[in-house]
Amino acid sequence: MKKVTWNGAGNLLLPGQKDPIVSGDSAEISDKAADELVAANPGLDITVEDAGKSDKD
Amino acid sequence: MAAPEEILAYPLEVYTAIVGTAFPLIDAAPAVAWKLLGVSGNLNYDDTGVVVSHAETVFDFTPAGSTMPSKRFRTAESLLTKLNLVDLSPAGYAMAMNNATVTTVPASTGVAGEAHFDMFRGDAVAEFAVLLRGPSPADNTMNMQYEIPKAFVSVNGDVTFNKGVVASLPIEIQMIRHSSADDPVCRIQTAAAL
């Protein structure tokens, strides 16, 4: 799993999530979804970190 | 720019911030808390420029014994700034629409990236601190600025989408005043700091 933190203004609705996160907040998404997110959205103001657990957890 | 310095012909740039934000020193760049209106500042204002309108309503007292007014009273006044913003990016448009929150949806498998905001403004009107900045009429290499502690920033009018017409947001910035702490200031730099 990856922890995605939103650094931009307003809200961010991450893929597969029901509710958006506010600026400064974070959410966990799968490694695959995080990789896709970064590849498909260059310039998106996010920080992606390892959440310290696998996608199966 | 050349002398005479007091003659100005240059559009101001408009910044907004949360009410209570400290205004920048006259010779300093605005802090990050001050958001430039238009992603490229006055390059996103149409050529009607930035209009600062000083309106007032007065009442003249003409006594029975005279045909000319002997005293004038001011009964209302306003400070209104107007410009046409040619920046329809989500952030600019949403800010003008009562500071609506933009939700960004990044692209993912089967989902196109987009950003959206609510256009219903409701009865509560968003307030901002507003800074207008341009060249000083004392020395055009220095700054002048209007400091407006509280103002309504809104879109009031038509956004026209048509051939040969640049779509713009008619922005109105209406100063409001609850107390003397909200009084606007026009500050003109006259010399550099030592």
Report whether pLDDT(A57) > 70: no
pLDDT at B151: 97
- Residue A10: which of B102, B108, B111 has the nearest Cβ? B102
Q: Where are the domains of chain B?
A: 34-58+73-188
Collect all residues of chain B within an 8 Å Cβ-Cβ radius of residue A41. 106-107, 113
Give CA–CA dist B85/B40, Å, rounded: 11
pLDDT at B71: 98
pLDDT at B46: 96
Helix (H, G, I), strand (E, B), or coil: what is residue A30?
Answer: coil
pLDDT at B171: 96
pLDDT one-digit tens code per residue, B38-61: 999 999 999 999 999 999 999 999
Q: In this prediction, does ipTM exceed 0.85?
A: yes
pLDDT one-digit tens code per residue, B158-172: 999 999 999 999 999
B42, B92 Cβ separation under 8 angstroms: no
pLDDT at B1: 58
In the predicted model, residues of chain B with pLDDT beneath 50 are: none
| A-proximal residues of B, 12-41, CB under 8 Å | none
Report whether pLDDT(A49) > 70: yes
Report whether pLDDT(A56) > 70: no
pLDDT at A53: 79
Query: Which residue in chain B has the smallest CA separation from A37?
Result: B108
Quote the minimal CA–CA distance from B38 to chain A in Å.
15
pLDDT at A51: 82
Provide, rounded to the nearest whole percent, the portion of chain A with pLDDT above 90: 82
Query: Residue A52's pLDDT band (boundaries 50, 70, 90)?
Result: confident
- Residue A8: which of B104, B111, B117 has the nearest Cβ? B104
pLDDT at A54: 76
